[in-house]
Structure 1
Amino acid sequence: MTGRWFASSVRVGAIASAARGQDGRAEVRPSITLTRTREEAGDDDVVLPPAGTDLRLPMVGPGDVVGFDRNLVARREPPDGCLNADPGELACVEFAHADLPWQLSPPDAPPWLALVVLREDEGVPAERRPLPVVTIPPQAQFDLVDAAMWAHVEARLTDEDDPRGQIMSGVRRRSGAVVARLVCPRRLHGGTAYVACVVPATAAGREAGVRGRPADPRLAAQPAWTAGAVPVEVPVYHWWRFRTGPDGSFEALARRLNGVDPSTIAGFGVRSVGVRNPWPQREPPEGTPATVTAQIQGALRIPGSEVPDEVWTPASPAQEAFVDELLGELNAPGRRFDPTRPPPEEAGAVTPPLYGGQFTGLRRADAAGWQTTLNLQVRHRVVASLGARYVQLEQEFLMARAWEQAGPIREAARLVAAAELAAECGRRAQDKHLATMDQVALAALSAPLGSTLSIALGLEDTREPRPLGDVVGETAVPGGAFTTAFARLTRPGGGLARRGVRAAERPPREDAALAAGLNGDRLLGPPASSTEATGDTSTLGTRQTDPAGAAAAGTLAVLMDGELSQCDVRGDYAAHAQFAGFAVGAPDTSALGDLTRTLAAETGTSERTVVSGGWLRGLRRTADFVSTDTPQDMGGALGMGAATLTAAIRVGIEPVPLQLARVQDTLSAPGLQDAAAPDPRPLRPIMTHPSFDVPMAAELFHRWPEWGLPGLGGLPEDSVVLLETNPAFAEAFLVGLNGEFNRELRWREFPTDERGTAFARFWSSAGPSRDRSAPPDIDEIARWPLGTALGGHDRMGGRSLLTLLVRGEVLRRFPGTVVHAVQAAEDGSVPPDGAGTWFPPTFTVPADESTSLYAFETPTREQAAAGGWLFVIREPMHGTRFGFDDEASGPRPPLALWSDLTWADVPVDGRGFLVPRSVGGRPPTPERENGTDPAWGRDAADIARIAFQRPFQLAYRAEEMLPGG
């Protein structure tokens, strides 16, 4: 465990063993021992100093320096620029090097530095070289004879047996756990501006700093001034400004706080709204009392005051009539869209707002659930209208912040819109050009996509999508048939195709005509200008001598992969085939005839179409050329036919999935990654909403505090009240707020579907600076279960949190005040530090400068009522501080501890400076401190231990603050 230790002084290095010289300068007197080793006889050249030689090494003193490194100043109290310092405390300054105040002072001399505090009207440092200077008037001069009492060392050490050794080790290592401190003993006054200055405490330091040259060392033994004599001009090594607040320490202000039972304050926590005539243009029902009110609770309410339903006071038929009329008004727009109901007779369409309709998708207010409760009860509609009103008042600011967040989303929306347009254009083009294309033509057209188009065939082995070229490579189709060159050669409308059409128009002549037609296909070309009978018409019939036809015939033979190479080669046909680079024979026309008829049956076309319109193109996709006698499906081992392949190709080139995949790989936007091609509109515009991590409770209390807590303005000063949160209020406010903001977004053409929850936090996170990673108070409103009651959708499940409201000057003066909940010790007292479980607030909301709300998840209302729980208000601790309490105005309890001392108990001279000696029985020794170690005036460490200000805390019993407690 770490403890706090005080030491009066510390010196390390040469100064620790230095003594005061005759001229007043510190000096070191080392002793030297010389040892001579004789190596040879007669070697006596070494001369030793004569016996009794006295070596004196003078050290740098206060008159040799003009300051210190200002980076050594670790902390100033009160801080620089402070405007409300506690006047009961003493000003002080800390140094990171714990030996700095004694580095230039001999062991028996006081520190060479001092801290003085001047009122601004007494003097302010003026610029001069080498240092600023200030004139200290007599009333601001404390007695430098006691300077050693106002400088000490503080160390934060672990509990060990040798604190002195730890302190010395920390000083040598320049540990941050060991610091030096100068304290000014001047008592401060409230509402006064001060200047604190670190100045030399010796006359030598004063002369060196003012004149800019080394001073007479003998002046190091003289103080810089004689207290109360005459004004003295001194150099300033370091200085800062601060101002004290009104009189009153934290303890004094905190003791003013009084616990208040909120149920004893008339109208507190509830606001009455007149509802006798909710429709100004209509008369209220007959028999309605002159005054009818509805009770509306604020965001905070008295614990246990929740009501299950709304009841007007006094009971009146006006409430039922109002609900009926309101229901008709709210449902009128929805009836216009209901095909099962006749349109409303009224012509008007402007009705009261239906809160929550855009989130639930319901156009009726009587659909049950939280939306009905929100819309038909005045207490909730008024709260929702407050949320809507906030948007109306802040719309320009909110929209500016919304567009700032929408920058990347707008660019993403543009790209998605372009992708959707491209997909639609691609779909129209495919419908026009590819939908009517037969299987053979479509397969041929897809040849350039062999390496880029991945298809999934849906086979029994459920293979993953693969490139089209890899799929076809496993079939019996030769590689040459699946090339762009082959596609260009067989393109529709080409020169070979036109000649093939002319050849096909010749009268058929049985097999010879068939062979001629085959030779006249797109690859074989038109008939030659001259033909020659072979004498063997059963084999070939007519021999073509057209060079183009011969080259095409060679290509066909290669595609047939060897089966036709056994045919007899004759005449120019073989010559032209060899010219084309192929060693082939003439085709077997009877086998080709069977193949033609088989292909016509498979593709659903006529033999003439197969021969003249594109047989070779179909050949690449539908024929297995292993045998011309037994044609096979092109899939071979895959079991895939032309229809399967072309169907897979059509799926693979659908534009919507391709564009969707491209956009998903490029962008990350709300809803885009979850979109799928089967969705009705997968590339729909990106719908998003901005997000504001703003605790709306703070905005509510800033703008409409009487709606946040009705009766807050009438709460007395210096009050402590225990309340609880109202979840239904928070949800109604957020529904109205988000609904109105979504309408504003749509009006400003923001890309949203009006269902987003831009404001999801009503209360704030724990701590002075909110944790933005904390979960929001509510989920997206569009996801709220309709059957869950209003107020049951937050992360607490609708549970109210006990909230401590503190109003008092103590919060204005000490804004960092800490509040915790803790279970009391066995004797009912506050557990000491390190004991018990302390619960910080779940959130803190400042209502105004002197009023704050502290909400706790623990304890619950039931736990607090059972007893044993405390709410502790603790003074903020910024660092070590010194001072005394204000004088007690009334009867004071017996003095028990040093920390109970007041300014009335300690000796103070006529100029307002503490006297570090007992004077006239002051200070008295507290009862529990009698016989203990600290004693007033013994040394600087004891003065520090007695004047040390421990944080003050005040506890309130939770059960006593509940209504009826």
Structure 2
Amino acid sequence: MDESVMSQDPATLAFLPWLRRGISTGITAGSPDPGRAALDVTLAFNGDREVSAPIALYGPGEVAGINPRSIIRTYPQPEVHDAECNYFPLIEFDQPDFPWRYTPAAPVNNRLHPWLVLIALTDNEIVGAKAAGADGHLPWIQVASAGSLPQLTQSWAWAHVQITGLEENGDEEVADVVDQQPDRAPSRLLCPRHLQPHTAYTVCLVPAFNRGRLAGLGEAIGVDEVRYHSAQPSWWQGVTSVKLPVYYQWRFQTGAAGDFESLTRQLLPPKQLPAGVGRRQMDVSVPGPELPPAAEAPMALEGALISLTEPDSTETQDKVFNKSLHERLNVPTAMLDSGETRVVAPPLYGRWHAARDRIPSVDHPWFDTLNSDLRHRTMAGLGTRVVQKLQQELMAEAWDQVEGVLEINEQIRETQLAAAVTQRLHERHFETQDELTLLFITEPLHGQVQADRQTVRQTLRQNPPVRGLLEGQFRRISRPLGPIRTRQRRLPEPEETTSSIPSEGSTVSGESGLLMGLIEGERTFPRGGGKMRGSATLASVADHLQKPDTSDAATLILLQGLREGKLSEEIIMQAPVNPDFQPTEETPVPKEWAGTESEWTQELATRKRQEIAHIFGSIDAQSPSTPSTGEGPLPPEPLSREPLEIHLLRDTILAATDPAQTILLPLTKRLTTAEWVEWDPAKHPGEQLMVAPEIDRPMYEPLQELSQEWLLPGVSQIPPNTVSLLKTNRKFIESYMAGLNHEMARELLWHEYPTDQRGTCFRQFWDVSGYMGPQPAGGLKDIRPIHMWGKSELGGNACQQTTDGEQVVLLVRGELLRHYPNTIIYVQKAMLKDENGPSVAEGGIGDENPGEENKKSPLFFGRLAPDIFFAGFALSQQEARGDGESMDQEQQGWYFVLQEQPTEPHFGLDAAGEHFGTELEPPGNWRDLSWGHLVDNAEALQEMSNIDLDQLDSSLLPNEGQGAEWHAHNGSLGSDLALITLQAPLRALIHGSDMLPPEKEGS
């Protein structure tokens, strides 16, 4: 089609009167086939011969039904019982060309009739009907008179294509949208029926051409008769009865007369709430057994929402009562400290979160206020009632959140047991061993234990003698129960035993002493046959032994068991010595002698076992004797080797095999927990998981189920069609939430839930699921975790802080939000338009878009029976009011906006008022056109069925023409009618100061 005839809404929508795609764009008038549309097609053969032939296209006579999935929207929705009377029923398709795809004609003057139309009929206008049969035929209806059907000669006016999001409105852009993004170009059929209030209607999609009607009914289609021609309509005006097949149908019922605009006007002007809304009186003269009166007069018990017209409560409790209440609340702790029998007493709400068990508590003022003031204790008690009522649901939700925690804790307990048992084994069999034995035992682990910058195995490899001692061959030779070690420990026969029996397993200077002697950097090498210190031979020992009181034979037998290498320092010290024996101090040999072979370590590995045994018993490499003859000169720079810290290796191995590192720590590293789980395995590796579930449901709802009076006292006194402002009561919310969490902590403990009772399970009071704005800095939770309240006052623990600590709440009672539940609600910052006052456009009702800047979405939404809606904003009372005398742009307050949903356009005319026809002023623009402009009186409107464009007043034009034609004789198009009847989404703007009580002088 020609996009130059497109009609465009100034906002975001554009309309096309018709659209065709593919081969159907070639259809021209004058088809030779009276039953179908045809077009000439020219084909070329072999590049030089062309043949032309007419091709007949499928038309409505070949359509046996449509796919319901191609329908994307209907209005009103099926089975609605309160539809607006001033809007047109409509149906939308997901294919832009669908209404004209099978039309067997060409457009005339940019008007193209669709091949199907939408009709709406009352129950008494349908005199017969039949459902779809098993033979595949469509369902049909019998219409009593064609007078209740729209004019088929005007069907072109009630079909169009809508295109959204055009930027330049060019032909190429339109073509791209249709071809590449058809979801932005739905096609639509309107039914120009005037609906009566409180009336049921059946809307049907039926064929517009007679061949389609006959095909749908399953009747035979002739060829020669005129009534079978493709261009013949399904009905003519004046026909008494029409039988029509139905492609698609649904039912709805209208409600009372009124649309979004009329229902919004019923809310204006704003009304002040009646006195007493938001609070009620509580009798505290008899607070409980053995307690004095809390106050002489009743105290005001406020709800979660407070009226702004009521003054702040100033009542206080009697000091004598406060003292008595504190004593009563502290009784359990006093009895527990003294060891007396426990008793049931009133709860201290929040005791586990505050880690306090008595009041007053100087460093937790919120804790004292919550438990001392009867009003706040009442609110906390409501939280207790809610948890007790919902305990099964809440515990089920809590267990679902910590699935697997019990199994994990069982693993931790089993691991702790394994670690405890292994720790005892570690202490008995590892920590008691000397360095060499510990290295023997742990040799397979040396490659996995880090010692400084390298492994233990690598460290030992740099000391070949020690490495040789740990080789498997040597370990087999020197094993404690092997033949060599067994012979070394063999004792004399019992009858030859003397009182000087050497202790079993004794060695010279201990095994570690031998090992120390083999460490690189500590070895010294004697030269010239010098004597060694620290070892003994049988001859040297025998020279100094005093003859015992036994036979010489026994002594010799004993000495035969003392082989070289078996005399330890302990044996020598126990032996009786010659009193003339004097030890001599010998000069130690230097660490390195000139000419010493540097390949000594390799020679050691090749010696015979007898020589190794001799080394074990004879060498003390720390301090060899001074050689008897001669000394070699030292080299100018003695060789320097860094000694091996063998005791540090022992400590490293013991630390690496500690069960806390090998059993507990690996388990905690394998476990991953959610972010909200507080667990620090680094500080307490064996500590079990203690968690608190997070229950995100808005907890005002179960409170509302107890009674709406707890949420908003006096709610039943609010008159219909009221719009006003309230504010939240932070002290009520925090007291109630503290009671919820206190009782939930008791439930968790009772059900053996893994918790320390300090977690905050409930932090959401209001319903924030509909919030559409950016994430606030403090999040959307209503309270901070209770254990973080610390030294704050009750009422000062909100995540979202305003200047006065409270949030303003818009309250609406009326038919508007019940009838339009998808109404968009937000606040728009007022700006100075001129010296006359603030404006965002002008306050009131209109369709002007105030822009996206300085908007705020509601933080939470809620509903109260039967028809009350409220929405809370992050605004204080003063911010909403503004300063009417200030010229500062930031002090102009805020508008509260009620906006019709723009994503679902409606079509129709404004509802008629008290005046009709010539009594009305011409509309200011097409959007002000009403049903009253079409008729002269209310009776004529009552009798109207469908709009007849030929009967309209051609002189009826708006004062501000928009280029669209209204009368058919003036060349109007389907796109014009779409633009004229489009009901743009309206906005009602109400300034905050209009809903607030007057400011007090000096405030």
**TM-score bracket, shorter-length normalisation:** 0.7 to 0.9
Q: 1:491 to 1:807 in 2, by over 3 A?
A: farther
Partners of 2:27 and 2:38 within 8 A in 1: yes
Measured in 1, the distance between the counterparts of 2:943 and 2:142 equals 14
After TM superposition, list the pairs within 5 Å mapping 1:9-408 onto structure 2.
Answer: 9-12=18-21, 13-21=23-31, 24-25=34-35, 27-28=37-38, 30=40, 56-103=54-101, 104-107=103-106, 108=108, 110-119=113-122, 122=126, 126-128=131-133, 129-139=135-145, 140-156=148-164, 158-160=166-168, 162=170, 166-167=173-174, 170-171=177-178, 175-211=182-218, 216=223, 218=226, 219=228, 220-227=230-237, 229-258=239-268, 260=270, 262=272, 265-282=274-291, 284=293, 289=296, 292-303=297-308, 311-312=315-316, 319-336=318-335, 343=338, 349-368=343-362, 369-408=365-404
* Dislocated runs of 4+, deviation >6 Å: 31-38, 504-508, 512-522, 537-542, 587-591, 596-599, 670-673, 768-774, 890-893
Give the secondary structure class of the aligned counterpart of 1:407: coil
Q: 1:442 to 1:35 in 2, by over 3 A?
A: closer
After TM superposition, list the pairs within 5 Å mapping 1:376-775 onto structure 2.
Answer: 376-454=372-450, 463=452, 467-475=455-463, 477-483=465-471, 486-487=474-475, 490-492=478-480, 496-502=484-490, 582-583=607-608, 586=611, 592-593=617-618, 595=620, 640-669=644-673, 675=680, 679=683, 681-765=684-768, 767=770, 775=779
Q: 1:395 to 1:841 in 2, by over 3 A?
A: same
Query: Where does residue 6 of structure 1 map in the other structure?
Result: 15
- For 1:425-458, what per-residue CA distance to the aligned partner results, in whole angstroms no more than 9, with x for missing partners? 2223334444544455444433343234445xxx
Q: Name which of 835, 845, 849 aligns with 1:833.
A: 849
Give the secondary structure class of the aligned counterpart of 1:332: helix
Unaligned runs of 5+ in 2: 1-9, 515-530, 540-560, 566-591, 598-602, 625-639, 842-847, 884-891
Which stretch of structure 1 is more off in the superposition, 886-895 or 806-815? Answer: 886-895
Measured in 1, the distance between the counterparts of 2:503 and 2:864 equals 102
Give the secondary structure class of the aligned counterpart of 1:899: helix
Measured in 2, the distance between the counterparts of 1:504 and 1:785 equals 81
Measured in 2, the distance between the counterparts of 1:932 and 1:911 equals 31
TM-score, normalisation: structure 1: 0.78
Partners of 1:261 and 1:962 within 8 A in 2: no
- For 1:79-126, what per-residue CA distance to the aligned partner results, in whole angstroms no more than 9, with x for missing partners? 345454323211111233333323323124732211122345636561
Q: What is the CA-CA distance between 1:674 and the residue it aligns to?
A: 5.6
1:823 aligns with 2:829: yes
Query: Where does residue 881 of structure 1 map in the other structure?
Result: 906
Q: What is the CA-CA distance between 1:7 and the residue it aligns to?
A: 3.3
> Aligned pair count?
849
- For 1:531-570, what per-residue CA distance to the aligned partner results, in whole angstroms no more than 9, with x for missing partners? xxxxxx999879xxxxxx9xx99xxxxxxxx99xx99xxx
- For 1:631-685, what per-residue CA distance to the aligned partner results, in whole angstroms no more than 9, with x for missing partners? xxxxx966554433333333222212332321122111369996356x4x53122
Q: What is the CA-CA distance between 1:588 and the residue it aligns to?
A: 10
- For 1:231-255, what per-residue CA distance to the aligned partner results, in whole angstroms no more than 9, with x for missing partners? 3222222333444344432222222
1:914 aligns with 2:946: yes
Which stretch of structure 1 is more off in the superposition, 755-764 or 431-440? Answer: 431-440
Q: 1:282 to 1:367 in 2, by over 3 A?
A: closer
Q: What is the CA-CA distance between 1:274 and the residue it aligns to?
A: 1.0
Please provide the CA RMSD for this pair: 4.5
Measured in 2, the distance between the counterparts of 1:151 and 1:704 equals 51
Measured in 2, the distance between the counterparts of 1:132 and 1:805 equals 50
Identity value in percent: 27
Give the secondary structure class of the aligned counterpart of 1:93: strand
Partners of 2:784 and 2:797 within 8 A in 1: no
Measured in 2, the distance between the counterparts of 1:675 and 1:174 equals 54
Q: 1:504 to 1:483 in 2, by over 3 A?
A: farther
Measured in 1, the distance between the counterparts of 2:505 and 2:398 equals 76
Q: 1:27 to 1:746 in 2, by over 3 A?
A: closer
Q: 1:667 to 1:480 in 2, by over 3 A?
A: same
Q: What is the CA-CA distance between 1:70 and the residue it aligns to?
A: 4.0
Measured in 2, the distance between the counterparts of 1:833 and 1:787 equals 47
Give the secondary structure class of the aligned counterpart of 1:844: strand
- For 1:49-87, what per-residue CA distance to the aligned partner results, in whole angstroms no more than 9, with x for missing partners? 9xxxx9644433322332444443332222345454323
Query: Where does residue 603 of structure 1 map in the other structure?
Result: none
Q: What is the CA-CA distance between 1:359 and the residue it aligns to?
A: 0.7
1:845 aligns with 2:867: no
- For 1:211-269, what per-residue CA distance to the aligned partner results, in whole angstroms no more than 9, with x for missing partners? 2665547422222123453332222223334443444322222221145555x522111
Measured in 2, the distance between the counterparts of 1:699 and 1:252 equals 35
Measured in 2, the distance between the counterparts of 1:98 and 1:214 equals 30
Partners of 1:724 and 1:800 within 8 A in 2: yes
Unaligned runs of 5+ in 1: 39-45, 313-317, 456-462, 525-536, 543-548, 554-561, 568-576, 600-635
Partners of 1:90 and 1:881 within 8 A in 2: yes
Partners of 2:489 and 2:505 within 8 A in 1: no
Q: 1:597 to 1:657 in 2, by over 3 A?
A: same
Which stretch of structure 1 is more off in the superposition, 762-771 or 787-796? Answer: 762-771
Query: Where does residue 42 of structure 1 map in the other structure?
Result: none
